[in-house]
A and B are shown apart, each in its own frame.
Chain A
Amino acid sequence: MNDGRYSRQELFAPIGKKGQQSIEQKHAVIIGAGALGSSMAETLVRAGVGAVSIVDRDYVEHSNLNRQQLYTELDADNSTAKAAAAEARLLDINRHADIKAVVGEVDPSLLESFLPADIIIDALDNFETRMLVNDFACRQQIPFVYGACVGSYGLTYTILPGDTPCLHCLMEDIPMDGETCDTAGIIAPAVQMVSAHQAAEALKLLSGNEKDLRRTLLSFDVWKNEHRTMNLDKLKKQDCTSCGTKADYPYLQWESRSSLETLCGRDAVQIRPAKTAEASLGRLKEQHERLVRKSNSHLLVMEWEEKRIVLFADGRAIIHGETDKAKARKIYHQIVGG
């Protein structure tokens, strides 16, 4: 393509024409299409990354619109699945991009379906899935760019399997008590700051400029005016079960994952059935006609006993207005059966 759309990026000496050609042949996988995922996807698609895959399990709500830049009021009105809304917007931005968008959960087989991949971008909102993706990236030796934010705070670290420490080296196990957007809120500048640093690292990697990678943990608070970097090389563990010499990738054992989670930023619980059986949305829509408030090809929104229940075609449900996991499970069984 020669419409000059990448000319300014090519004029940037470290990228140049050669770097741009390299970028256009690369495949970036973005895990999550919330705030960070929206921003990352837009930046990489505008930059001309040849193929971009993106996965998300959620749908657009009005409370997303302060920071999730790919989405519009119409998407929120229609409860459009985020990955579907993202795909449409990304193709509006760059029709030449090869976009693969998946509405669903991240699991090892989905990650396999994205191979071969040149980089994996962390745009997740929970540690459980992050550790799974970390294991996958380590096993496949694919650079993995961690990024996270809450409130006015954010941090990012580029994991190079076999070289830098991985998330498992740094965290040892899944943190159960991190702050979330649920408790501390989130402002868009914190998102954009993390995303900007993740995107810069991605462009360095994809244009063949690995030597320019930051190689430090960067953290900041845009409200308290703080900024720091730390070199974490010393924290790499030779015996790490995710990236060490005898790695067995514990978080890729899908069965070990819980099937109930409270969701970041929500007064809600997500339920995933133990065995993945696709729900027939059509059948459930007929069955619960009086309860159905909205429906589209990806999901069904129902109201029942002051709870809002969103049921996805892959069998998952999000129960809003409920944070008690046992009660959420009961509601799920009452509505869906199983």
Chain B
Amino acid sequence: MKLTINGEEQQIPETVESVEQLLAHFNVAHKKSVVEKNGEILTKPEQKESLLNENDRLEIVHFVGGG
């Protein structure tokens, strides 16, 4: 499945079905992040329920603590 993630086209295995699984796929599920899918911010429950489709555009932003 082809997704655009933070502006970059990527091929993602079909086994990754939800946004939550996508975060696990990238090994970033433990980080605090906000995710936008096709321009819409997703709440935590929505990340679990939201299914991925071909050509979806995702923006993922991680919170960091340094300063």
Chain A interface residues (CB < 8 Å from chain B):
32, 34-37, 122-127, 130, 147-150, 153-155, 170-172, 175-181, 186, 191, 194, 217, 219, 226, 228, 230-232, 234-235, 264-265
Chain B interface residues (CB < 8 Å from chain A):
6-7, 30-32, 34, 36, 41, 43-44, 59, 61-67
How far does the alpha carbon of A4 sit from the alpha carbon of B63 in the complex, in Å? 41
Given contacts A217-B34, A217-B61, A230-B61, contact A148 B66 (CB under 8 A): yes
Does the CB pair A178–B31 fall under 8 Å? yes
* Interface pairs (17), CB distance under 8 Å: A125-B66, A149-B67, A150-B66, A153-B64, A170-B32, A170-B63, A172-B32, A175-B63, A176-B30, A177-B30, A179-B64, A186-B66, A194-B67, A219-B61, A228-B6, A234-B41, A264-B66
Partner of B61, one of A124, A147, A228: A228
Given contacts A175-B31, A230-B34, A230-B41, contact A35 B67 (CB under 8 A): yes
CB distance from B7 to the nearest CB of A (A): 7
CB distance from B15 to the nearest CB of A (A): 25
Partner of B64, one of A150, A170, A176: A150
The 7 closest A-B pairs by CB, nearest first: A150-B66, A36-B67, A178-B65, A175-B32, A150-B64, A181-B66, A219-B61
Does the CB pair A234–B43 fall under 8 Å? yes
Could you say which residues of chain B place their CB within 8 Å of the CB of A154?
Answer: 64
Interface of B is mostly: loop
Q: A148-B67, A155-B63, A230-B61 are in contact. List 8 more A-B contacts (CB 8 A).
A: A35-B67, A150-B66, A170-B34, A171-B32, A178-B31, A186-B66, A226-B7, A232-B41
Could you say which residues of chain A place their CB within 8 Å of the CB of B6?
Answer: 226, 228
Does the CB pair B67–A155 fall under 8 Å? no
Does the CB pair B67–A147 fall under 8 Å? yes
Partner of B65, one of A180, A191, A217: A180
CB distance from A155 to the nearest CB of B (A): 7
CB distance from B30 to the nearest CB of A (A): 5
Could you say which residues of chain B place their CB within 8 Å of the CB of A127?
Answer: 65
Does the CB pair A264–B34 fall under 8 Å? no
How far does the alpha carbon of A235 sit from the alpha carbon of B41 in the complex, in Å? 8
Which residue of chain A is the closest to B30 with respect to CB atoms? Answer: A177
Does the CB pair B64–A155 fall under 8 Å? yes
Does the CB pair B67–A178 fall under 8 Å? no
Could you say which residues of chain A place their CB within 8 Å of the CB of B64?
Answer: 148-150, 153-155, 178-180
Residue with the highest number of chain A CB atoms closer than 10 Å, among B41, B59, B61, B65: B65
Which residue of chain B is the closest to A34 with respect to CB atoms? Answer: B67
Could you say which residues of chain B place their CB within 8 Å of the CB of A170?
Answer: 32, 34, 63
Does the CB pair A125–B32 fall under 8 Å? no
Does the CB pair A124–B31 fall under 8 Å? no
CB distance from A161 to the nearest CB of B (A): 19
Could you say which residues of chain A place their CB within 8 Å of the CB of B36?
Answer: 230
How far does the alpha carbon of A18 sit from the alpha carbon of B49 in the complex, in Å? 51
Residue with the highest number of chain A CB atoms closer than 10 Å, among B7, B34, B36, B63: B63
Which residue of chain B is the closest to A147 with respect to CB atoms? Answer: B67
Could you say which residues of chain B place their CB within 8 Å of the CB of A153?
Answer: 64
Does the CB pair B34–A235 fall under 8 Å? yes
How far does the alpha carbon of A36 sit from the alpha carbon of B44 in the complex, in Å? 30
Does the CB pair A175–B65 fall under 8 Å? yes
